[in-house]
Amino acid sequence: KAGVTQTPRYLIKTRGQQVTLSCSPISGHRSVSWYQQTPGQGLQFLFEYFSETQRNKGNFPGRFSGRQFSNSRSEMNVSTLELGDSALYLCASSLAGVTDTQYFGPGTRLTVL
Amino acid sequence: AQKITQTQPGMFVQEKEAVTLDCTYDTSDPSYGLFWYKQPSSGEMIFLIYQGSYDQQNATEGRYSLNFQKARKSANLVISASQLGDSAMYFCAMREGGGNTNAGKSTFGDGTTLTVKP
């Protein structure tokens, strides 16, 4: 079974631009979560989607948004990019339950100049 | 308050020896899952092992075992017979269940960098 895929793998943007990241979960998984990883803040939970609905969210500004499609694929959008948004963005999928094991994709490394 | 604490920023172990990575957690939710992940320098997060809060026995997966002490709120990872390829960052994580607002959120510790010496 194919794992979690994320596109693109690398991205360079400038301040003020917006970016959309994509995540395709493992087949059969209905939950997708997004995380931001930086050297200073570690791994921070952004939000989780289940059956096209946001089930939970972390403490990030409204510039960070996401959505999930009927096939469970998810996108994450960051508007008005700031230098501090430079990070590795990780997507994880799980079956459905809130304590189910999450399997991560390879991540998208975003650099904001 | 931080919910996952990993007190060992870095650890060294000799190849073929066993090593224990510490993790303590904090939650008032009776239903939760505890996880360990490995992150090599490539960046991908690799799932290693899972322990449910209601599981009576410690989880094992090959060379990995989880020493679950519920009363002490600790979930230490034991790696037996270390290999050079085990050198990586290791994260302990928790997902809370129940009906609270944190349901589904994963909280990660700061990680432990493990270096296996030949």
A56–B45: do the CB atoms touch at under 8 Å? no
Distance from CA of A81 to the nearest CA of B (A): 22
Chain A positions touching B50 (Cβ under 8 A) are 101
The pLDDT tens digits of the residues spanning B52-71 come to 999 999 999 999 999 999 99
Mean pLDDT of all residues belonging to chain A = 95
Q: Is A99 on the interface with B (CB under 8 A)?
A: yes
Distance from CA of A33 to the nearest CA of B (A): 9
Do you know the residue count of chain B? Answer: 118
Name the pLDDT band for B99 (thresholds 50, 70, 90): low
Please tell me the distance from the alpha carbon of residue B34 to that of residue B59, in angstroms, as a whole number: 10
Chain A positions touching B91 (Cβ under 8 A) are 43
Please tell me the distance from the alpha carbon of residue B4 to that of residue A52, in angstroms, as a whole number: 29
B44–A35: do the CB atoms touch at under 8 Å? no
Burial of A94 (0-12, 13-18, 19+ CB in 10 A): buried
Please tell me the distance from the alpha carbon of residue A66 to that of residue A7, in angstroms, as a whole number: 15
**Paired residues of A87 in beta bridges:** A110
Q: Sign (positive/negative) of CA torsion B6, A36, B63, A101? A: positive
Per DSSP bridges, beta strands A10-13 and A108-112 are parallel
Nearest Cα to B35, choosing from B100, B25, B88, B44? Answer: B25
Nearest Cα to A64, choosing from A50, A51, A74, A52? Answer: A74
pLDDT surpassing 60 at residue B1: no
Please tell me the distance from the alpha carbon of residue B49 to that of residue B66, in angstroms, as a whole number: 7
Among chain B residues, CA nearest to A98:
B104
The pLDDT tens digits of the residues spanning B84-97 come to 999 999 999 999 88
Tokens of A27: 């087949």
Over range A64-91, report the average pLDDT. Answer: 97
pLDDT surpassing 80 at residue A67: yes
Q: Specify whether the CB–CB gap between B27 and B3 falls below 8 A.
A: yes
Q: Specify whether the CB–CB gap between A112 and A83 falls below 8 A.
A: yes
Q: Is A103 on the interface with B (CB under 8 A)?
A: yes
Q: Is A55 on the interface with B (CB under 8 A)?
A: yes
Counted across chains A and B, CB pairs separated by less than 8 A come out at 65
Which of A9, A31, A34, A43 best probes binding to B when mutated, by most B CB atoms within 10 angstroms? A43
**Paired residues of B89 in beta bridges:** B39, B113
Q: Classify A90 as helix, strand or coil.
A: strand
